[in-house]
Amino acid sequence: MGADALRPRREMLAPVTEHSKPTKMAIAARSDNGAPPLISIVAPCYNESETVDLFVGAIDKILADADFVSEIIFVDDGSSDDTRERLSRLAASRDNIRAVVLSRNFGKEAALTAGVDHARGDAVIVMDVDLQDPPELVLDFVRKWRDGYDVVYAAREDRQSDTAAKRATANWFYRLFNKMSAIKIPENAGDYRLMDRRVVEHIKALPERSRFMKGLFAWVGFNSVGVPYVRPERAAGESKFNFWKLWNFAIDGFTSFSTAPLRVWTYFGLLIAVASILYAMVIILQTLIFGIDVPGYASLLVFILFFGSIQMISVGILGEYLARLFAEVKQRPIYIVDDIIGGPQNG
């Protein structure tokens, strides 16, 4: 406290910019207040009965002699196996473990939102429960956070643990996303990250129902830094994401952060209009020079089918946005809590 009180006032006004060095204000906020900070670890679980105990074991080992206090917030995202029972047992056995049980499966993004909403830490770490997000990084995250960074994310060095097809589609997704959206998301970052309390408060204040968390994390900004790591295989159980789920997830991402798919049709239409006028001129000239000649059944058919499908695609894209607008307008909650097990019961 003492040293902090003596800092000149103007340092408190230091600007906070994206990807800048930590400000003195941020550094000061992480120290000098006596009590060790509370770090919340948020882990969404969907049918993870095989991994939750492994997860707690790994976290305990890493944090055995940490100089900060921690809590684990599990979110049971409507599991149909015995994940809920296992989480209840864990939550009952210790007061730094809580389980937020959702009323059904709302999806990972909603589960993450629920976990972040229930975390009380000075910093919040979100991570998968299958140990693909290595717990060792937690210590690096906290170190960087104490250095004054507001966001510390895990940057995977390679994707060897993914199949070639998943690697290729992920690459393609990030490249396209970053081209189309004004908000850039780091290509090699997943959800695994630490966020300072003030970042968390901004994320919590975002009202949208469509929770593309990677995008929202990037959207709020603040100074961030990556910690490189190699992503291991799942500790047990299997991935909850198939191709179709990932495809829909990608569409959610694009439509939440870019209007380019809506606007591209205007330009496409203009281009085709110009091409049509040129083609009409060619036909007029041909007729004037060579007289009337009416073959062209095949080319006519191709043009009709082509423009028919282009129109359907553009209407379909309108529909994607309309459907999302509909979901936002309805203002349904992002998730519903069935039960909260364990932890301090005062909030």
The item of Mg ion, ligand UDP, none sharing an interface with residue 169, based on CB under 5 to 8 Å by kind, is: none
Residue 265-304 contact track with Mg ion, rule CB under 5 A, x = bound: ----------------------------------------
Give the binding-site size for ligand UDP (rule: CB under 6 A): 17
Nearer to ligand UDP by C-beta: 130 or 150?
130
Residue 51 makes contact with Mg ion by CB under 5 A: no
Report the residue from 17, 93, 160, 239 that binds ligand UDP according to the rule CB under 6 A. Answer: 239
Q: How far is the CB of 192 from Mg ion (least distance, A)?
A: 10
C-alpha to C-alpha distances, 161 to 164, 177, 190, nearest whole angstrom: 9, 23, 14
Q: What angle do CA 119, 121, 122 make, to 5 degrees?
A: 140
C-alpha to C-alpha distances, 267 to 118, 130, 213, 261, 264, nearest whole angstrom: 46, 45, 31, 11, 5
Residue 335 makes contact with ligand UDP by CB under 6 A: no
Residue 132 makes contact with Mg ion by CB under 5 A: yes
Give the sheet arrangement for strand 97-102, strand by strand. 224-229, 151-156, 189-196, 123-126, 38-45, 69-76, 97-102, 337-341
Residue 77 makes contact with ligand UDP by CB under 6 A: yes
CA 178 to CA 69: how far, in whole Å?
Answer: 37
What is the Cα Rg of the chain in Å? Answer: 26
Q: Which residue is associated with the tokens 């906020």?
A: 29
Residue 240 makes contact with ligand UDP by CB under 6 A: yes
CA 331 to CA 252: how far, in whole Å?
Answer: 17
The item of ligand UDP, Mg ion, none sharing an interface with residue 287, based on CB under 5 to 8 Å by kind, is: none
Residue 48 makes contact with ligand UDP by CB under 6 A: yes
CA 250 to CA 256: how far, in whole Å?
Answer: 10
- Identity (one letter) of the amino acid at 301? L
Nearer to ligand UDP by C-beta: 133 or 150?
133
Neighbour-count burial for 204-225, b at 16+ CB within 10 Å, e otherwise: eeeeeebbbbbbbbbbbbbbbb
The item of Mg ion, ligand UDP, none sharing an interface with residue 129, based on CB under 5 to 8 Å by kind, is: ligand UDP
Report the residue from 44, 148, 215, 253 that binds ligand UDP according to the rule CB under 6 A. Answer: 44
Interface positions with ligand UDP (CB under 6 A): 44-46, 48, 77, 105, 107-108, 111, 128-130, 132, 234, 239-241
Interface positions with Mg ion (CB under 5 A): 128, 130, 132
